[in-house]
Structure 1
Amino acid sequence: MSKNTSNIDLDYALTSALVESEKEISAIDDLIIIFIVLLFIFGLYFGMYGLVQTLTAVNNFCFIFFLLPLFFFFIYIAPMCLLFDFGVYCFVYLRGTGPTAMLAAELMYDLINLFAYYIRVCIQLARILLMLIAGGSLQEFIFYFGAYYRFLIFGESFLEDLYNLEFNSKAVTYFFFVKLPLYIFY
């Protein structure tokens, strides 16, 4: 066996081993992302805990004004919770596909994929938050103006309106085309 052939085989073995080691879950660029994410999560958690403790120590009414920023906090923390639900394999899923084996380039591609994932999930959660705000506003509107029992069909007020109906064309038309549909649909 010639020396060139053995060198080619050795180069092939080293190259294939290095390529396979780069595909491992515990590659160094994936571990850096995990540490960044862990620092972000624990920093946000303990920071929010300190903020809540400060607000409740000052005045309990401040906690009411803290609720809406808490919803926005939930929007930013939910993608991280989803990432942790996937476990370590989420970083394999989000792993960049850089054409180079350089650590900095792989880390950059991982960060780009992570930010793209964050943006997608945050947009969806912002839509959910807007729906919650709209629903809460509607509930506040209903509670402010009240929901009266007279709107219930076949309740006392409905039968009272039916018994007190004047039998002329204007009153009967008003009852059947305005009041009765309101009783049914409201």
Structure 2
Amino acid sequence: MDESGIMDGPPVDLQQMLQARDARVERQRSLLEDNPHSSLLHVGLRIAGPVKTGRALEEVFDQAVNRLHQLLEAGLLDQDVLHLPTGPEAFLVSLMPARELKEDMLDFEGYRPFCTLMDLDVLTLENGRLVKISREDLGRVPRPCLICERPAKECARSRRHRPEEIRSVVETLAGSGWEY
């Protein structure tokens, strides 16, 4: 049991993660269909292992989402924040153009140490298809690993780092809180 509350949520399995992904895609599509000519910011967390949440982690997540809400407030059309066993998620629908929103989110990653744990996906709907704006679309380098600075996808795919090592970094970043 995690006494700090950072990672004290219930463990989840692959089936739950797949169901959460399917529900997320449907929610993204629905929000964009309901708000044509908008961009969608989906906020999640980069948490490896079976435990994806905890009291303290959700509190810091909520503080980060509140900050994003403040930054996007003028053009914010809709928002939804969910606290699920598979991890907290936020959906923010904005009038800001997708590429501009993605640039702002890349800057936001450096705002606080906790922000490096956040997945800040920007999506649009083009011809009925969800399109995610990537770092590479903007000429940026791939997202670095939390541990070694190699591309994060490369490390995740190869399982380069031990789960305990990853969890330690996540706990440190989440434990730093929102203010420092």
TM-score tier after normalising by the smaller chain length: under 0.3
- Computing the radius of gyration from Cα coordinates, the structure with the larger value is 1
TM-score of the aligned structures, taking structure 2 as reference length: 0.27
TM-score for the superposition, normalised by structure 1: 0.26
